[in-house]
């Protein structure tokens, strides 16, 4: 067996143990998450010498995907202690609110559900104070990642992520600047109107008001809890996919006290053992999150079992995010609302949901501009965070979040690439199978043919196979600007 094949087998075994542990803890089948022993058992995978060796094998795709994965795991492993300290501090933190101790993690849902503006702002202030208390450690953590990236021979952390992940950051940044320009007018017009609808003066608006707006409580009745699972199975059946016959995909809807309230998908063994876990509560956000995770689950459970691990699981996560977004945004299609949920007049909901998507795209685009600066120069980061996001979003941005609001390794770029590819894929499906593509078994067959390939190919290559010039944000920008 070659060194690469041996390494792949070990990597797959590690992945399996790690994801089984996540599943057991998050699904409420186990009291505590314990991943350190798993990392310790597989410590040989993440040695500096292994990383250096794999980094020399990047001239073929399989080696490149492995090198990307092991390098990022190696970096995470080095800062794991700090990561755990921060997350434990946040888990234990509480604030005083009206004579009660409220856990830090409950503040966000409270803000989303708080109709009174000044109370929302006070809750947000309390949240930001706690967030800020760990910023010194967050900064130290980023400094370590930056140093280690240079230690591995890269110019900086940004170059490491860009080169290993194939993010095309120069081109992506250029495209996102254009998207920000082209959607600016429509965004600010809508923002003012939506803020008015919840009685928030634009000049006093902040991110907590936007959280409340997007909670969309008035639309809860359109998305009942009891109809959630039937909505999913009917949608899949329309594409010729019988969820009850997918033995490798387990839908876990059993209520357990320790089960995570958010839907999630865990691909433990691909494609043999994929879990889709949900604790249904209903409402637009819960539907979106079930559909999103179902997109991941269908992708991973349809992967060709004969492929090597790097093509089944590694590669570009923009792809699995695009498949998740494709399902996630089904409720923005009035044909879907009508056919699946029997909603005749979903216009007001669709307007809000489309505005939310525009908000997210502008938020992630400005986050990309910010993270490019953050990962080259930490000194001015706090002010740059406030000004770049504030300029794109038109509401007050809490400076304290400038480090907590950053995912490692430019995951923001993978989301953006996922959104861009989803718009291209959906346009392709609509052109070929009609506006109700989601009820065409031919569309289902086409999607399965893509899912089978795992993440072997990049969105750029798949876009070309659909007749596009490559991955391009103009379709997405056009859609967003024409709201």
Where do contacts with Zn ion occur on this chain (CB under 5 A)?
324
3-state helix/strand/coil string of 98-114: CCEEEEHHHHHHHHHCC
For Zn ion, the closer of residues 267 and 308 by Cβ is 267
Helix (H, G, I), strand (E, B) or coil at 142: helix
Contact 308, 279 (CB under 8 A): no
For Zn ion, the closer of residues 79 and 249 by Cβ is 249
Give 258's contacts (C-beta < 8 A, 6+ positions apart). 28, 29, 31
Smallest separation (angstroms) from Zn ion to the CB of 319? 11
Q: 101 forms bridges with which residues in the sheet?
A: 96
For Zn ion, the closer of residues 270 and 324 by Cβ is 324
How long is the chain? 483
Contact 45, 12 (CB under 8 A): no
For Zn ion, the closer of residues 154 and 327 by Cβ is 327
Smallest separation (angstroms) from Zn ion to the CB of 265? 8
Smallest separation (angstroms) from Zn ion to the CB of 362? 19
For Zn ion, the closer of residues 419 and 438 by Cβ is 419
Q: How far is CA 400 from CA 143, 369, 409, in A?
A: 18, 18, 21
State the pairing for strand pair 94-97/273-277.
unpaired
Q: Of 347, 292, 350, which Cα lies nearest the Cα of 325? A: 292
Smallest separation (angstroms) from Zn ion to the CB of 321? 5
Rounded distance, CA 423 to CA 179, Å?
Answer: 13
Smallest separation (angstroms) from Zn ion to the CB of 296? 6
Helix (H, G, I), strand (E, B) or coil at 269: strand
Rounded distance, CA 182 to CA 188, Å?
Answer: 12
Smallest separation (angstroms) from Zn ion to the CB of 418? 8
For Zn ion, the closer of residues 55 and 324 by Cβ is 324
Rounded distance, CA 264 to CA 276, Å?
Answer: 6
Give 342's contacts (C-beta < 8 A, 6+ positions apart). none
Smallest separation (angstroms) from Zn ion to the CB of 240? 24
Rounded distance, CA 190 to CA 178, Å?
Answer: 19
Helix (H, G, I), strand (E, B) or coil at 94: strand
Six-digit token string for 440: 């065409």
- Residue nearest Zn ion (C-beta atom): 324
Smallest separation (angstroms) from Zn ion to the CB of 407? 12
Q: Of 39, 41, 23, which Cα lies nearest the Cα of 273? A: 23
For Zn ion, the closer of residues 324 and 343 by Cβ is 324
For Zn ion, the closer of residues 235 and 318 by Cβ is 318
Rounded distance, CA 55 to CA 66, Å?
Answer: 9
**Burial environment of residue 230 by CB neighbours within 10 A (0 to 12, 13 to 18, 19 or more):** exposed
For Zn ion, the closer of residues 402 and 419 by Cβ is 419
Six-digit token string for 182: 């082209």
For Zn ion, the closer of residues 324 and 388 by Cβ is 324
Smallest separation (angstroms) from Zn ion to the CB of 461? 21
Smallest separation (angstroms) from Zn ion to the CB of 476? 17
φ/ψ of 342, rounded to 5, equals 65, 25
């Amino acid at each position: 067996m070659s060194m690469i094949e041996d390494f792949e087998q070990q990597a797959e075994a590690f992945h399996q143990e790690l994801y089984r542990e996540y599943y057991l803890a998050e699904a409420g089948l186990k009291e505590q998450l314990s991943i350190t022993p798993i990392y310790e058992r597989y410590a040989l995978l993440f040695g500096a010498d292994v990383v250096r060796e794999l980094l020399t094998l990047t001239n073929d795709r399989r080696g490149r995907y492995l090198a990307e994965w092991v390098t990022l795991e190696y970096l995470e492993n080095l800062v794991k202690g700090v990561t755990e300290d921060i997350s434990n501090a946040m888990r234990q933190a509480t604030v005083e609110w009206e004579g009660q101790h409220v856990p830090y993690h409950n503040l966000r849902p409270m803000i989303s559900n708080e109709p009174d503006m000044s109370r929302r702002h006070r809750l947000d202030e309390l949240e930001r104070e706690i967030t800020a208390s760990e910023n010194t450690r967050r900064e130290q953590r980023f400094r370590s990642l930056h140093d280690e990236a240079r230690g591995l021979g890269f110019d900086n952390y940004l170059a490491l992520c860009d080169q290993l992940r194939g993010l095309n950051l120069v081109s992506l940044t250029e495209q996102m600047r254009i998207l920000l320009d082209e959607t600016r007018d429509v965004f600010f017009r809508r923002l003012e109107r939506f803020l008015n609808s919840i009685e928030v003066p634009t000049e006093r608006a902040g991110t907590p008001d936007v959280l409340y707006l997007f909670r969309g409580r008035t639309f809860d009745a359109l998305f009942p809890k009891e109809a959630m699972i039937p909505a999913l199975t009917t949608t899949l059946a329309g594409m010729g996919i019988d969820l009850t016959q997918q033995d490798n995909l387990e839908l876990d809807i059993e209520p357990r006290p320790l089960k995570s309230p958010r839907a999630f998908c865990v691909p433990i063994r691909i494609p043999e053992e994929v879990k889709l876990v949900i604790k249904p509560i209903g409402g637009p956000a819960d539907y979106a999150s079930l559909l999103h995770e179902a997109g991941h689950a269908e992708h991973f459970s349809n992967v060709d079992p004969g492929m090597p691990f790097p093509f089944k699981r590694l590669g570009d996560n923009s792809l699995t995010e695009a498949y998740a977004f494709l399902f996630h945004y089904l409720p923005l299609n009035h044909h879907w609302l009508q056919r699946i949920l029997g909603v005749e007049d979903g216009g007001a909901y669709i307007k809000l949901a489309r505005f939310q998507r525009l908000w997210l795209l502008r938020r992630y685009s400005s986050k990309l501009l910010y993270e490019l600066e953050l990962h080259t120069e930490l000194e001015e980061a706090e002010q740059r965070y406030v000004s770049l996001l504030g300029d794109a979003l038109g509401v007050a941005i809490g400076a304290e979040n400038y480090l907590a609001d950053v995912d490692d390794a430019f995951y923001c770029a993978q989301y953006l690439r996922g959104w861009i590819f989803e718009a291209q894929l959906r346009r392709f499906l609509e052109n070929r199978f009609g506006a109700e593509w989601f009820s065409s078994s031919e569309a289902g067959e086409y999607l399965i043919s893509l899912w089978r390939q795992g993440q072997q190919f990049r969105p750029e290559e798949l876009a070309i196979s659909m007749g596009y010039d490559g991955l391009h944000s103009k379709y997405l920008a056009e859609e967003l600007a024409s709201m």
